[in-house]
Copies of this chain bind each other. A is one copy, B any other.
Amino acid sequence: MSPALDDTSRLCIHTITTKPWNVEQAIDAYSQAGVGGITVWREALKDRKPVQVGERIRAAGLSPVSLCRGGFFPAIEPSVRRHAIDETLCAIDQAAQLGAPLLVLVCGADAGQPLSESRRQITEAIAEILPHASACGVRLGIEPLHPMYADARSAINTLEQANDLCEQFDSQSLGVVVDVYHLWWDPHLKREIIRCGQGGKLFAFHICDWMTPTQDLLYDRGLMGEGCIPLQQIRNWVRAAGFTGFHEVEIFSLRHWARSQDDFLDDIIQAYLEYA
């Protein structure tokens, strides 16, 4: 193959994608496969020092792309909201210790209150954590989630909403994570990707695919090419918006987690090269 055809230097993999591996196994395997970047699922840091995990990532020749995730801000109970903010402040510290330039925010929702109230609480929480993120040199990326998660995972469900939210704050530390799984259906996607990029707010780009039929609301994402998302088209919009960062594979899949993760990693790289 020509160099262009096996260039995985802009490929990043999110450790949740290879969930059966612990973070050390993932670092070693991604590195050996020539993957360029790694995003760390926050639970993968359990019983570990983020500084040491960061050192291991860099020693393996990988770039730490982001820590995932903070957020889940809305709640009827003030004490629960307080806890979510404190946890996210802690996640910002962990991202800094890891050397990850970005903390992904899954903003949250409380099914017991109106979405408008959840959205208000999200804005309030971001206002509170943003100064700490700036001080730590960690950027915050609002990830709009698919509307099927509006009840309990995120009240931010379109890229337009995420862009609007960013515009409420005048901060270079706040931007957006574009994930094709959540946004591919949106008739305004191209417009909002361009808007996001032109505003300097496109902080990360996540890829996977949408299976037909989808068997599970949470754990049935597809590998690129297995589903119906027009990946090249969206990738072209993201590039046109000026994004030059990593293309990050994030796949929650019971099906793929049940496989040999070595085989799955081979398939991820193959799918990425066909897509890239």
CB distance from A212 to the nearest CB of B (A): 4
Render A38-71 as a binary contact track against B, CB cut-off 8 A, 1 for contact. 0000000000000000000000000000000000
Among the 9-residue stretches A110-118, A125-133, A170-178, A253-261, the one with 4 or more Cβ atoms under 8 Å from chain B is A110-118
CB distance from A123 to the nearest CB of B (A): 13
Give the chain B neighbours of A186 by CB distance below 8 A.
147, 157
Question: Known: A112-B228, A147-B147. Is A157-B214 also a contact (CB below 8 A)?
Answer: no
Render A235-248 as a binary contact track against B, CB cut-off 8 A, 1 for contact. 00000000000000
Q: Does A93 contact B (CB under 8 A)?
A: no
Question: Known: A114-B230, A148-B146, A228-B151. Is A157-B187 also a contact (CB below 8 A)?
Answer: yes
Q: In the complex, A186→B158 CA distance in Å? A: 9
Q: Does A152 contact B (CB under 8 A)?
A: yes
Render A154-169 as a binary contact track against B, CB cut-off 8 A, 1 for contact. 0001101100000000
Give the chain B neighbours of A161 by CB distance below 8 A.
187
Render A197-218 as a binary contact track against B, CB cut-off 8 A, 1 for contact. 0000000000000101110010
CB distance from A233 to the nearest CB of B (A): 7
Interface residues on A, range: 20 to 34
DSSP majority for the A interface? loop
Interchain CB contact under 8 A, B185 and A150? yes
Q: In the complex, A22→B118 CA distance in Å? A: 42
Q: In the complex, A45→B112 CA distance in Å? A: 40
Render A91-124 as a binary contact track against B, CB cut-off 8 A, 1 for contact. 0000000000000000000011011000100000
Give the chain B neighbours of A228 by CB distance below 8 A.
111-112, 151
A sample of 17 cross-chain residue pairs with beta-carbon separation below 8 angstroms, ordered by A number, consists of A111-B212, A111-B227, A112-B228, A115-B230, A119-B187, A147-B147, A147-B148, A147-B186, A148-B148, A148-B214, A148-B217, A152-B212, A157-B185, A157-B187, A158-B187, A213-B217, A214-B217
